[in-house]
């Protein structure tokens, strides 16, 4: 068995090294922000050496980008599938279209409740709106656009009245992020908070898109 080099942290996690590094880096960037995290911090948290972190992810800026790419890929997978289901429901009429929107929002809330580090990572980024703005274009705008296009398509079909889909999507996204922050502040348990927020979102959608008068 090869001997471990002196000073190299011991790895007990059996995940692929790059996944381990990205998970550790995401948690640290979410907690401290970009400037307060070093590659050495990430190496220590991942149980590898600094050279291993650099080998798998490059510079700190590249590592930061990779963390956003990682959460984006996971979010895109679940939202794209839910979005396709919603788009398929548009032809069935306003009631089915609205039901599909409820399901889409539930998917988004579920995702962020299960992955609160996604919210924390983005909030740290948005505290400095003039830095790393390219991350928004690569890893936020495509998901916003997916839902905005869905709302626009529903409006074109007469399934709902939505004059400003970009405002609606942005408002819902921020509401859900705020909900995740509230859960974190309460220690993450918050079963009542989860139920009440879910009910609020559904009331919001029903009020925003009331059925047309017969």
Q: Give the residue among 56, 62, 6 at the shortest CA–CA distance from 29.
A: 62
CATH assignment, 1-58: 1.10.10.60
Model confidence pLDDT, tens digit, residues 84-96: 989 888 888 889 9
Domain with CATH 1.10.10.60 in the chain: 1-58
From the number of C-beta atoms within 10 Å of its C-beta (0-12, 13-18, 19+), residue 66 rates as middle
Choose the CATH number for 65-208 among 1.10.357, 3.10.50, 1.10.10, 2.160.10. 1.10.357
Q: Is 57 left (phi over 0), alpha (psi -120 to 50) or beta?
A: alpha
Domain with CATH 1.10.357 in the chain: 65-208
Question: Which pLDDT value is given to residue 4?
Answer: 45
Which residues of the chain carry a pLDDT beneath 70? Answer: 1-14, 188, 212-214
Question: Which pLDDT value is given to residue 12?
Answer: 55
Residue 172 neighbours by CB distance under 10 Å: 20
Question: Which pLDDT value is given to residue 34?
Answer: 95
> Which residue is associated with the tokens 């400095």?
128
* Cα dihedral 20, 22, 23, 24 sign: positive
Question: Which pLDDT value is given to residue 6?
Answer: 44
């Amino acid at each position: 068995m090869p001997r471990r080099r002196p000073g190299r942290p011991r790895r007990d996690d059996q995940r692929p090294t790059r996944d381990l590094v990205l998970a550790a880096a995401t948690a640290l960037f979410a907690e401290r922000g970009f400037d307060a995290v070093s590659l050495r911090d990430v190496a220590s948290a991942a149980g590898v050496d600094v050279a291993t972190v650099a080998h798998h992810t490059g510079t700190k800026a590249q590592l930061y980008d990779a963390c956003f790419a990682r959460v984006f890929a996971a979010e895109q997978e679940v939202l794209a599938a839910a979005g396709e289901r919603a788009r398929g429901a548009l032809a069935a009429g306003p009631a089915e279209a609205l039901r599909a929107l409820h399901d889409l929002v539930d998917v988004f809330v579920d995702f962020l409740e299960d992955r609160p580090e996604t919210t924390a990572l983005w909030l740290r980024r948005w505290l400095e709106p003039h830095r790393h703005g390219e991350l928004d274009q690569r890893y936020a705008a495509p998901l916003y656009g997916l839902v905005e296009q869905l709302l626009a398509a529903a409006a074109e079909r007469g399934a709902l009245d939505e004059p400003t889909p970009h405002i609606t999507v942005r408002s819902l996204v921020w509401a859900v992020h705020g909900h995740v922050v509230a859960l974190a502040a309460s220690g993450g348990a918050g079963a009542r908070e989860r139920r009440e927020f879910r009910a609020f979102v559904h009331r919001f959608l029903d009020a925003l898109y009331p059925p047309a008068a017969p």
